[in-house]
Amino acid sequence: MKKAFWLVFLALAACTAPQGIKTTGSLRIQSVQPDVVSGCTVQAGDWMALKGNTFGTQAEWNSGANHALFPPEPGLHAESPEITQAENPATLMFRVPQGAQSGILRLHVEGVGDAEIPVSVQALAPQMAVPGCEVPAPPQPPE
C-alpha cells in the first residue's frame, strides 16, 4: 500500500513540474515566461521571467556569483538579471543577450542549485502573437 502511494505521488509530481527543465539541489523552477519549454521563441532583447522557490539575493546576481548563461557554449550572460520578487514564489527577470542561440539556458544559484532550460532563439524578424508566448513587461524601477 505504501509503495502504491509513493508511485502515485511521484507520478503527480512529475506531471505538475514543467517538462524539459532539469534542476539540481533545492532549486525548483515553477514557470518560465514566455513558455520556451512549450515551444515559444525569444529574440535578443526580449525579457524572460522565471518563477521558482528561490533565486538567492540581488547582490549575488550583481557580483556574478549567480548567473544565467545562454548558448553558444561557453555561454553569454543574460543581461540585467533582477529579482523582482524575493518571496515564494520568487521571480527572476532578465533580457536575452545579443548573440544568444537556441540550446540550453544554464542557470546557477550559488548554494541552491542549477537549472537547464531549453530555449529557442530566433533572429530578429516580425513575430506573430502566439497565446502563452507573451514576453513579460520589463521590471519597474523602485520608487
How much is the pLDDT for 127?
A: 55
How much is the pLDDT for 138?
A: 85
Q: How far apart are CA 94 and CA 98, in angstroms?
A: 13
Instruction: With H, G, I as helix, E, B as strand and everything else as coil, classify residue 63.
Output: helix
H or E stretch including 143? none
pTM, 2 dp: 0.78
Walk along the chain (143 residues) in steps of 10 and give the mean pLDDT of each run.
46 51 97 95 95 95 95 89 91 95 96 96 67 82 67
Residues 22 and 115: beta-carbon distance below 8 Å = yes
Q: How many helices (H) and strands (E) does the chain have?
A: 2, 10
Q: How far apart are CA 140 and CA 115, in angstroms?
A: 26
